[in-house]
Structure formats: C-alpha cells, structure tokens
C-alpha cells in the first residue's frame, strides 16, 4: 500500500513534553513530503496555534483543528466549520455554571474562561499550550453567563475542567439529555470537550480526505490520546505513540517510540523509506 496522507496529532505526538518541536521531527516531515505525501495536523488546538506549528514544519496544508470543528489553512481559508450557535452556547454555560468546573469558550480568535480554580495546573498548562497569547489571547471573567447576555458568542468548542470524574459524569448526563445537538469528548484528568454533533478528528479526516480525493485506507495517522483512537483505528495504517494509553495502543497497527524519544521521526523513517515517490509509482502503474 502506498500511503498518500500523513495526519499527525500535536501535543504528546510531534511535540515533546516541554512543548518543543525537535529538529529530527522537522526533518522527518520534510522527508515524507518529498515522497509526495500530503502531511496535515489534527488537533484539539485552535487553528491559529496549529498554523504556528505548521509553519515551523513548513506545511501549507489544510489543518484539522478544534477536534475537527474547523478545517483550513487559515481563518480566511476554511473548507469546513461547525459552530455551537450563540443561544445554545449560552444555555450550555448556564448548565455548567451549576457545577464546580472551569469553562473555556474556544472562539477562533480568542478564548474566554471563568475564574473558578479547578485543576489549576491542568488549566494553566492548557492556556500555555494553546498557542502564542499574542495571537490567541485568553480572558478570564467572573461569570461567563453575564458576559454572554451582552455579547453572544458562537464557538466551535467548549473546554470544561472538573475537579473529579464523578462531577464530570453528572454534568455530562445533564448535557446529553438537554442538548442532543452536541457531542462530548472525554479526556484524561477530568477534562471534557463539547463540540457540535458529528465533530471529531476522524470525521475531520474523512472531510479532508473527500476534499483531496484520498480515502482513509490510504492515510497514516499518528497519535497518542483517547480522542485519536477512532482515527487511528479507521486509517489504513494507525500508529500509537509509545506514551499513549494502553487502550490507544490496542487499536493501533503499529506502536512507535514515545514523543520524548522522537517517535514520529522514527516511525516515518522506518516506514516511508520503503515507499517510492507517488509520482514514480503512478508512472509505473501506467506502464503496466
């Protein structure tokens, strides 16, 4: 099988734990691009933050961001966008403010969060990893509900951090019953992401594949998180990072080294060195 698309998760996959992008990873991405493979990023991050990583990798690709709610090269060049409407965003916030949680409304250009201190270290880490604050500023307010009354907001994603999974599960049960037009993606450490119904990294890959004319069976997906699992399982070649949870590794076709051990660079060099340039393979096929 000659693979035509490589999709990479960002955090815990191409980035080390300190948020750094290593030279070896950049070189590996350049190597696979020279093989004629389309390289994209798939992430829960916002498009501006993903674009910054893509620039460092010298990618001019369509990027799958906000868990698949937004696909594009830039905010002005989007091929897909799904938003939680203003009124529904307000109603969801009203429900969530009855629980002990930190809420972040992820707009395409900025985020707004409440000041409730829950999972302080996790929230701080997410704020720092969401991108350059100059390009993607974050504002904290006392009451999101009060802000939304005066300034309604439609968003592609809502991030919610709970003190424990019991509180998260109770909130999820209420939201599922009250809002059938949204999906909830559960993460580790009590985090929940709320997205429009039908949005996921896998759905984003399928949409991008349809746009490019590349089926899932001709894609390689590399990831480390629970939200990467459906895409890893559905891809022609699904790869789990060495630092991924065991349930992610179980659905993968291949397990590479960890992000600290340059697992992406290792996998690319091990697998794609055997694959000829796509133009060469196409010419060979025509001659036959």
| Dihedral, CA of residue 28, residue 30, residue 31 and residue 36, to nearest 10 | 130
For 227-233, what is the mean pLDDT?
97
CA triplet 260, 59, 216: central angle to 5 degrees?
80
Interatomic CA distance for residues 151 and 64, integer angstroms: 28
112 and 168 belong to one structural domain: yes
pLDDT band, very low/low/confident/very high, at 118 (cuts 50, 70, 90)? low
**Residue 2, pLDDT score:** 86
- C-alpha distances out from residue 29 to 21, 148, 211, 229, 256, Å: 12, 42, 22, 22, 16
Residue 72 sits in the same domain as residue 31: yes
Q: How many CB atoms lie within 10 A of CB 168?
A: 22
Final residue before a domain boundary, out of 196, 230, 259: 196
Same domain, 181 and 233: no
Per-residue CA distances from 239 to 38, 155, 187, 264 (Å): 17, 31, 19, 9
Which residues span the domain enclosing 117? 86-196
Asked if residue 143 and residue 272 are part of one domain, the reply reads no
Same domain, 66 and 106: no
Do 183 and 226 lie in one domain? The reply is: no
Q: What is the CATH number of the domain that holds 162?
A: 3.30.1240.10
Domain boundary among 167, 196, 225: 196
| Same-domain status, 204 and 77 | yes
Report CA torsion sign: 215, 216, 220, 226: positive
Tell me, yes or no, whether 62 and 203 share the same domain: yes
196, 226, 249 — which closes off a domain?
A: 196
For the chain, what percent of residues have pLDDT higher than 90?
78
Instruction: Give me 12's structure tokens.
Output: 């815990």
What digits encode the pLDDT tens for the residues 28-87? 999 999 999 999 999 999 999 999 999 999 999 999 999 999 999 999 999 999 999 999
In the predicted model, what is the mean pLDDT of the chain? 90
13 lies in the same domain as 97: no
pTM, whole model, 2 decimals? 0.91
Structure tokens at 275: 């694959």
Q: 167 and 104, same structural domain?
A: yes
Whether 261 and 243 share a structural domain: yes
Number of structural domains (the chain) is: 2
**Which of 167-176, 216-225, 272-281 comes out lowest in average pLDDT?**
272-281
pLDDT tens digits, 185-209: 998 778 899 999 999 999 999 999 9
pLDDT reading at 210 higher than 60: yes
* pLDDT band with cut points at 50, 70 and 90 for residue 120: low
Q: What's the CATH number where 45 sits?
A: 3.40.50.1000
Confidence (pLDDT) at 8: 98
Q: Which residues pair with 195 in a beta bridge?
A: 183
Residues 6+ apart with CB under 8 A from 206: 216
């Amino acid at each position: 099988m000659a693979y035509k698309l490589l999709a990479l998760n960002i955090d815990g996959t191409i980035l080390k734990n300190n948020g750094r992008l290593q030279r070896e990873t950049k070189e590996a991405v350049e190597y696979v691009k020279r093989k004629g493979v389309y390289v994209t990023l798939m992430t829960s991050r916002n498009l501006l933050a993903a674009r910054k990583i893509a620039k460092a990798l010298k990618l001019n690709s369509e990027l799958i961001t906000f868990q698949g709610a937004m696909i594009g090269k830039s905010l002005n060049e989007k091929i897909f966008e799904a938003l939680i409407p203003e009124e529904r965003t307000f109603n969801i916030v009203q429900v969530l403010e009855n629980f002990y949680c930190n809420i972040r409304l992820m707009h395409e250009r900025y985020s707004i969060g409440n000041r409730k201190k829950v999972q302080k270290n996790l929230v701080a880490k997410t704020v720092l990893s969401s991108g350059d604050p100059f390009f993607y500023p974050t504002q904290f307010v006392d009451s999101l509900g009060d802000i939304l009354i005066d300034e309604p907001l439609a968003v592609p994603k809502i991030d919610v951090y709970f003190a424990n999974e019991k509180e998260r599960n109770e909130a999820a049960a209420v939201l599922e019953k009250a809002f059938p037009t949204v999906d909830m993606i559960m993460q580790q450490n009590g985090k929940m992401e709320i997205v429009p119904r039908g949005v996921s990294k896998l759905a984003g890959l399928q949409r991008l594949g349809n746009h490019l004319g590349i089926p899932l069976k001709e894609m390689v997906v590399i990831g480390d998180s629970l939200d990467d699992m459906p895409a890893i399982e559905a891809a022609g070649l699904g790869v789990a990072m060495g630092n991924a949870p065991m349930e992610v590794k179980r659905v993968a076709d291949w397990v590479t080294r960890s992000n600290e051990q340059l697992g992406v660079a290792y996998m690319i060099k091990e697998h794609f060195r055997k694959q000829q340039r796509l133009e060469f393979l196409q010419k060979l096929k025509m001659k036959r």
